[in-house]
Copies of this chain bind each other. A is one copy, B any other.
């Protein structure tokens, strides 16, 4: 079933210990859409500027991603500049030129209205709520956010949280949102804010999902689940790893007829798989070129490195 994603399509200028790139295609919606496109149909709502060229458009088209909802505005595309050092765990933002993104007003094309899965990437919660309200019949809503909205737009964010089936954030964001340092207490507080489930990403250590009482129609409350991340010898560029996780995770969910705890677990693994591919090259390079066979082989590798009963040799 089709996923509608609303978020940023951007250019990134990135420096890591492995090199640097200037103005390469990036943005949360881009990474998400590419990762999800290996599992299901994806439709994108975003805004770009005049520097968004046919070659960038082609990246989406080649993966069969519907770009009718990518609006062209006069001006330049959102441009983020950042650098990574040390363990590459966190980016240092050197520049954020919002450009046309500053006045982003998501418009939902008529042909998108039947999308069954909605992904609200990290944008102003006012816009997230507005898109949500225009998609009343959607089957599932998954959302992301970040420190800035948690800290300075708490009331707006609270409205979005109440509408979410899945909130996808990282450890630091979970602590900030809840005011709790303990991961389990943080999860309980966040779930009490409304989302039916909470996926907390731990960077190189994988991710944990916590379920609320209402997470599954046909099941009692399920226990948390921990998915590993793949120990990688070369992390070339961590940009978009979290959005790629989200794309693999949600893409797999949307491809399945029913949401069960088992499907959710597999989705966590596919999230880790797509995140692990994303960081192997700069920008979206790896996500453009990976194959479904490689994805499934890596899924099995994730199983092998975490399951007791897997033949290890």
Q: Enumerate chain A interface residues (CB-CB to B < 8 A).
A: 86-88, 175, 181-185, 187-188, 202, 204-206, 208, 210, 216, 219-228, 231-235, 261-262, 265-266, 269, 301, 303-309, 312-313
Question: Are the CB atoms of B305 and A306 closer together than 8 Å?
Answer: no
Question: Are the CB atoms of A182 and B224 closer together than 8 Å?
Answer: no
**A contact patch SS:** loop
Given contacts A86-B181, A205-B206, A220-B313, contact A305 B225 (CB under 8 A): yes
Question: Are the CB atoms of B225 and A87 closer together than 8 Å?
Answer: no
Q: A135 CB to closest chain B CB, in angstroms? A: 29
Q: A147 CB to closest chain B CB, in angstroms? A: 17
Q: A7 CB to closest chain B CB, in angstroms? A: 28
Q: A183 to chain B: which residues have CB within 8 Å?
A: 204, 231
Contact among B225, B234, B304 with A306 in the assembled complex (CB-CB below 8 Å): B225
Question: Are the CB atoms of B313 and A261 closer together than 8 Å?
Answer: yes
Question: Are the CB atoms of A313 and B226 closer together than 8 Å?
Answer: no
Question: Are the CB atoms of A222 and B313 closer together than 8 Å?
Answer: yes
Question: Are the CB atoms of B262 and A224 closer together than 8 Å?
Answer: no
Docked Cα-Cα span, A301 to B226, in Å, equals 11
Q: A210 to chain B: which residues have CB within 8 Å?
A: 231
Question: Are the CB atoms of A308 and B303 closer together than 8 Å?
Answer: yes
Closest to A222 in B: B312
Given contacts A226-B231, A305-B223, A306-B225, contact A312 B262 (CB under 8 A): yes
Question: Are the CB atoms of A308 and B265 closer together than 8 Å?
Answer: yes
What would 5 A/B residue contacts be, using CB atoms closer than 8 Å?
A86-B181, A184-B232, A187-B231, A216-B313, A225-B312
Given contacts A86-B181, A308-B269, contact A228 B231 (CB under 8 A): no
Question: Are the CB atoms of A224 and B231 closer together than 8 Å?
Answer: yes
Given contacts A182-B233, A224-B231, A313-B216, contact A307 B305 (CB under 8 A): no
Q: Which residue, A86, A175, A261, A265, has most C-beta atoms of chain B within 10 A?
A: A265
Closest to A264 in B: B312
Question: Are the CB atoms of B261 and A184 closer together than 8 Å?
Answer: no
Docked Cα-Cα span, A269 to B304, in Å, equals 15
Question: Are the CB atoms of A223 and B304 closer together than 8 Å?
Answer: yes
